Amino acid sequence: MVTAAGITAMNPKVAMVDWLLEPLAFEFMQRGLLIAVIVGVICALVGVYIVLRGMAFLGDALAHAILPGLAVGYLVSAGDRSAIFWWALGTAVLTSVGIGALSRAGRIKQDTAIGIVFAGMFALGIALISSVRNYAVDLSHFLFGNILGVTQNDLWLTAGVGLAVLFIVFVFYKEFLVLSFDPTLVTTLRLPARTLEVLLSILMAVAIVVSLQTVGVALVVALLVTPAAAASLLTKNLRNMMFLASVIAAGSGVVGLYASYYLSIASGAAVVLTCTAVFVLVWIWRQLGIRRRQVGSS
C-alpha cells in the first residue's frame, strides 16, 4: 500500500523533472536559458531607471534606431556576432547623444526629436537591408530574436557586459538616484548631469543590444519596461524594485523559453508574453487590493 502510493506520487514528479530536463539536453537551450537570465537582469536594472524617469519611448526608439548599425555591422563583418554587437552599440550611443543634442538645442521638444531620429534611422536600416536581400533572413533574427543562434562567444560577451552594467549601477547608485528623483537637486549639487545622462543612455543602449538575440529589436522595450513596471507595483523601495524586476525578467526569460520549446512559438514573443502576463497578474492583484482597502475603510 505504502509503496504503491509512493510510486503513484513519484510518477508525476518524475514526469515533471523529465519535462524540465528534456530541453536542457540541447546545448542551444542551455545557452539560451543562461543568456535569457543574464539579459533579463540587465534589462530589469536599466529598465527601473527607464520606468522611474518615464523614458519608455526613448528606449523603444533607441531599439529601432540601431537597425542601420546592425545592417552595416553585418555587411562589413560577414556576420561576425561581436562585430555586429559593437556596431549596434555604437549606433545606439550615437543616436541617444543625437536625440539629446537635438532637444537641448531648443525649439524641438524631446519626444519630437526622438520621433524624428527614430523613424529616420529605422528607415535607413530597412533601406540598407532591402538593398541586400540575401541577408534579410539573418537580419530578421535581430528584429524578432533568435535564441537558437546564441554562441558560446555571445554568452561570454553578454556575461561580461552584464557584470559591467551591475558594476556601473552599483557605483553610480546615489548619483542615478538623484538624477531620476530630482533634476533640480542635480543642478544645485553641481553633479555632472550631462555625463550621468550620457552614462545612463549608454546603459540603455547596452541593454538593448544584448537583448537582440533573446527578444529582438521590435520587442526589447517590453523587457526594459514591463518587469520594472510590475516591480514598481509591488514595492516602494528602489533596491527591492531592482531585485524584483530582475527576478521577474529572468524568470520570464526561462518560462518563455520553455513555452517556446514546447509550444513551438517564437522565443522573443514567448518571453515578452510571459513578462506581460506577470504584469497583468500583479496589476489585477494590486487593483483588487486597493478596492478591498477602499471598501474596508468606507
Partner 1 sequence: MLSLFTKQKPATEHSKADPAIELRNLSLRFEGHRALEDLSLTVDSGLRVAVVGPNGAGKSTLFNILAGILAPSGGEVRVHGHLPAQHQCLAYVPQNSQVDWNFPVNVEEVVMMGRVRLIGLFRHPSRKDWELVRESLGKVQLEGLAGRQISELSGGQKQRMFIARALAQAADLVLLDEPLAGLDIPSQEQILNILDDLQKLGITVLFATHDLDLAAAQFDRILLLNRRLIAYGVRDEVLSAQNLTKAYGGTMQVVETTEGRIVLGDSGGHHGHEPEGRHG
Residues that bind partner 1 (CB under 8 A): 52, 171-175, 177-178, 180-185, 187-191, 232, 235-238, 240-241
User: Considering beta carbons, is residue 191 or 247 the nearer one to partner 1?
Assistant: 191
Cβ neighbors of 216 (< 8 A, separation 6 or more) are: 141, 142, 143, 144, 145, 146, 268
In whole angstroms, the minimum distance from the beta carbon of 173 to partner 1 comes to 7
For partner 1, which is the closer residue by CB, 12 or 54?
54
Complex with partner 1: residue 52 or 277, whichever CB lies closer: 52
Q: Distance between CA 115 and CA 36 in Å, rounded?
A: 29
C-beta atoms surrounding 5 within 10 Å: 9
Q: Which three-class secondary structure string do you get for 3-18?
A: HHHHHHHHHHHHHHHH
- Residue 184 CB, shortest distance to partner 1, in Å, is 6
CB of 224 to partner 1, least distance (A): 17
How many other C-beta atoms are found inside a 10 Å radius of the C-beta of residue 118? 20
Q: How far is the CB of 50 from partner 1 (least distance, A)?
A: 14
Question: In this complex, which beta carbon is closest to partner 1, that of residue 8 or of residue 188?
Answer: 188
CB of 8 to partner 1, least distance (A): 48
* Residue 13 or 190 having the CB closest to partner 1: 190
Cα 84 to Cα 65, 81, 138, 177: the distances in Å are: 14, 5, 12, 32
Cell digits of residue 217: 529589436
